[in-house]
Amino acid sequence: MTEQAYPDALQPQYRMHWYTIERVLGQGGFGITYLARDTNLDQLVAIKEYLPVEVVARRPDSTVQSRSDGQRERYRWGLERFIQEARTLARFDHPNIVRVHSVFEFNGTAYMVMRFEEGENLGALLERRGTLPEKELLRILLPILDGLELVHNAGFIHRDIKPDNIHIRADGSPVLLDFGSARHALGKSRTLTILVAPGYAPFEQYHSNSENQGPWTDIYGLGATCYRAIAGMQPLDAITRSKGILGSTREVLVPARAVGSGRYSNQLLAAIDHALEFAEKDRPQSVSEWRRELLGEGRAASAAPAVSEWTAGAAPQRAKPSAAPLIAPSNAEATPHIVTPLPQNAVVSSRLSVRWSVVPIAWGTAGVIAGAIAIAMFLYVETPRRDAEMQLAQSKQEIEAERRRLQEERKLDEGKRRQDEQTRLAALTKLDEERRRMEEERRKLAARSKPVSTPTAKPAPPTEIVSQPPPPIFPVASEPAPPVVAVAKPRPTPQAEQLDRGEGALARGEYERALEILRPLAQGGNTRAQIRLAEMYASGQGVSRNYNQAYIWYSLAAREGGTTAAAGRDRMASRLQPAEIKQADKVVESMRAR
């Protein structure tokens, strides 16, 4: 399995110092992660090997070497950064951050030794359950924030936060994994390799320059993870969103406050929308700031002092005599009647009503002018307020309509999924019944064709010899007897029988038996077996869920032009990173060549 799925990986039982490789846990654009055994302490560990496949290759002696002289300097720089970051991460001792034990150089590259965590990642949990209630989501999110804040305070950012990199231990506690993409958040650094998880990476991460990346980059990933947990689907990728932001289309991301309305608290939905702001400067700038929003101490509280006493409804203060009035008194000896000007710091909002103080105005020309000015100012403020309220009401209606549409689509998708599953189970049951019927017919046929033993016949009594006329000299021609044609039912080929047995075992839930039968058939080029094997890896039936393996088997099956296999391949491709797809395509080509 290792040779086919991960051709660049070290082989099982390979030994480095006191670590023995057992199997591959996964591969990304920058390295391969192994499950290994520490023979000194007799415990399992996870070991990440620095292996950027775009610039290096594995030699037959297991060492790593850059593909060209021009890439050697780039590889050495990345290797030094990998070692430096491992040493930095090893200083973090937090229960919700993966523990790094050590780092060492070997085979011309470096290896990071980490604690191996049992359990299930959040991505698999969400695939199984769809969404999470608010209390459970916060029980996962808040400890991750505590650990991530420790990493940010050390000057690092994770850059690859997504459900698949949040692991849920058996006791329910979360741990943040895979710091292979971590980079310094501050200071000058070289151009970074672009590494994005569509839907979870903000727009600034699609550029190789790291100057615009910081804690707000990780906060976007956390916000997108929360969006997935409340909506049942990941948010749209930043490139698609950029079209609406830049004006070619409307903003297409339905806000969390619309998707989760009525099911989650307003403060949680507002915090998620704030974390998913498109521009980095509009998001929370630190973990502590976003945590306050999640706990109800965020933007609304901090924004309250900005509202002036005028907009809040308090009576405006009278202008000082030195202030220039809007209307000068016509008689110096008369009591001046002043229309108080707006305070300089007053905030006119379309959502807040403006209270006017009506001051007695002297009859005459001055009163007429003052009244006209007051009416003009009222219309100047009131008309935009009404327009804004109408736009807000229209926006609410559009959001509600979009929310209802999404709910209907989810219901339709769920119904179609259940119907497809029932159809598939019915087909597998029918195949299993047909297989049993054919086996019964074969047993009956074998019983009929078995030779029947008869008792030994007694010798016949002697018969009288009767003379017969001699045969004619010239034989008389006779009609030839008609040929005997044996009509037999076509027997299924051994491969078809094996395939039926494998699918029958899969229908009965005998996954180990199904895997034992289907794998050789799939490796031999049987399309149906390849599709069944891909489905097992995609759904985690009898094997660990592995989208990489599912993509490989779907791709091999799709070579015959089948639409089912092609659709499965495209579905798995949406869950993989570009580097993983490129590596998997290499495996597919090598298997086809064999």
Average confidence (pLDDT) over 237-255: 74
Average pLDDT, the chain: 76
Amino acid at 45: V
Domain hosting 583: range is: 493-594
Nearest in space to 89 (alpha carbons), one of 64, 71, 115, 66 = 115
> How many independent structural domains does the chain possess?
4
Q: Is 326 inside a domain boundary?
A: no
pLDDT score recorded for residue 108: 94
Q: Is 476 inside a domain boundary?
A: no
Within a 10 A sphere around the Cβ of 571, how many other Cβ atoms?
A: 14
Last residue of a domain, one of 288, 303, 318: 303
Give the whole-angstrom CA distance, residue 289 versus residue 184: 21
Give the whole-angstrom CA distance, residue 271 versus residue 257: 10
Kindly state whether residues 528 and 562 are assigned to the same domain: yes
Kindly state whether residues 93 and 212 are assigned to the same domain: no
pLDDT score recorded for residue 96: 93
Compute the CA torsion angle 328, 330, 332, 335 (nearest 10 deg). Answer: -80
SS3 485: coil
Kindly state whether residues 263 and 379 are assigned to the same domain: no
Per-residue confidence band for 584, with pLDDT thresholds at 50, 70 and 90: confident
Kindly state whether residues 169 and 40 are assigned to the same domain: no
Query: What are the pLDDT digits (tens) for 475-497?
Result: 444 455 555 554 444 555 778 88
pLDDT score recorded for residue 459: 52
Average confidence (pLDDT) over 40-62: 92
Kindly state whether residues 171 and 232 are assigned to the same domain: yes
* pLDDT above 50 (res 5): yes
- For residue 136, the Cα-to-chain-centroid distance in whole angstroms is 19
Q: Is 225 inside a domain boundary?
A: yes
Q: Is 288 inside a domain boundary?
A: yes
Last residue of a domain, one of 115, 143, 173: 115
* pLDDT above 80 (res 400): no
Average confidence (pLDDT) over 501-526: 87
Kindly state whether residues 225 and 299 are assigned to the same domain: yes
∠ Cα 211 212 215 (to 5°): 110
pLDDT score recorded for residue 329: 36
pLDDT score recorded for residue 69: 85
Q: Is 62 inside a domain boundary?
A: yes
Nearest in space to 110 (alpha carbons), one of 171, 49, 58 = 49
pLDDT score recorded for residue 4: 62
Enumerate the β-bridge partners of residue 157: 183
Query: What are the pLDDT digits (tens) for 152-165?
Result: 998 888 888 999 99
Kindly state whether residues 129 and 172 are assigned to the same domain: yes
pLDDT score recorded for residue 232: 92
Q: Is 561 inside a domain boundary?
A: yes
* pLDDT above 60 (res 311): no
Kindly state whether residues 152 and 266 are assigned to the same domain: yes
Query: What are the pLDDT digits (tens) for 319-369?
Result: 333 333 333 333 333 333 333 333 333 333 333 333 333 333 333 555 555
Per-residue confidence band for 9, with pLDDT thresholds at 50, 70 and 90: very high
Average confidence (pLDDT) over 444-453: 65
Q: Is 71 inside a domain boundary?
A: yes
pLDDT score recorded for residue 248: 52
Kindly state whether residues 256 and 157 are assigned to the same domain: yes
> What's the whole-model pTM score?
0.49
